[in-house]
A and B are shown apart, each in its own frame.
Chain A
Amino acid sequence: GENVEQHPSTLSVQEGDSAVIKCTYSDSASNYFPWYKQELGKRPQLIIDIRSNVGEKKDQRIAVTLNKTAKHFSLHITETQPEDSAVYFCAATISKINAGKSTFGDGTTLTVKP
């Protein structure tokens, strides 16, 4: 089955700096890679996703890059703000319609210091 590894487990940055979270996956059949943000005590929410036919996707301060050959993808947050503080999970699965069966990374706790 799929195995997703996520690094780092914790990340602390100063407000305004960039944050990068990296994930690797093992199953070459995976083609959909979502990222979820989970604030303390709240539900995970999709913040950005990427399909394997795309190398990069950007949405305002958030971007995701994918290297399908190397089987790794990364989340980039620029100009971080305190409200970006949360746990971020990467995931991998065959397709978006199978997102519920994603294999999730272990999460990265991001702390943005004001």
Chain B
Amino acid sequence: GAVVSQHPSWVICKSGTSVKIECRSLDFQATTMFWYRQFPKQSLMLMATSNEGSKATYEQGVEKDKFLINHASLTLSTLTVTSAHPEDSSFYICSAGGGNNGELFFGEGSRLTVL
């Protein structure tokens, strides 16, 4: 099946720094990718839709200047958490639809801890 790879799988950073997370579709082209946030024992919350070659679409309540998304190619989307604070600590997951049947595939997730 189609594979979506996310990197890094975990990252620890100091408060005030920025962190970039990459999401790659390994064997298919993805014009659209999705970024979610998952709190412990909670569901996936869609943050934004990443569109190749154009601006991302953010869900209500998600600060676009805080969570910068870039989808520069058909296989790569990046999420940058700018000026990270402890409350940004979370599990971030990306997804992309691929293949002939359009099944949604998720990345491995990235656990961000902001000290």
Contacts and interface: CB of A to CB of B under 8 A. Distances in A.
Interface in A24-56: 34, 36, 42-46
Given A43-B106, A89-B44, A106-B42, A101 B97 contact: no
B102 A99 contact: yes
Interface centre among B4, B33, B109 (most CB of A within 10 A): B109
A100 B96 contact: yes
Given A100-B95, A101-B34, A46 B43 contact: no
Given A96-B102, A99-B102, A43 B44 contact: no
A34 to B, nearest CB: 7
Interface in B10-48: 32-34, 41-46
A43 B110 CA distance: 10
Given A99-B102, A100-B104, A101-B49, A43 B43 contact: no
Given A43-B106, A43-B107, A100 B43 contact: no
Contact of B93 (A43, A96, A105, A106): A43
Interface residues on B, range: 20 to 34
Contacts, number: 50
A101 B46 CA distance: 7
A42 B46 CA distance: 18
B32 A100 contact: yes
Interface residues of A, number: 19
Interface in A55-101: 89, 96-97, 99-101
26 contacts: A34-B104, A42-B108, A43-B106, A43-B108, A44-B93, A45-B106, A46-B103, A46-B104, A89-B44, A96-B102, A97-B102, A99-B104, A100-B32, A100-B33, A100-B46, A100-B96, A100-B97, A101-B46, A101-B49, A102-B104, A104-B43, A104-B44, A106-B42, A107-B41, A107-B42, A109-B41
A36 B104 CA distance: 10
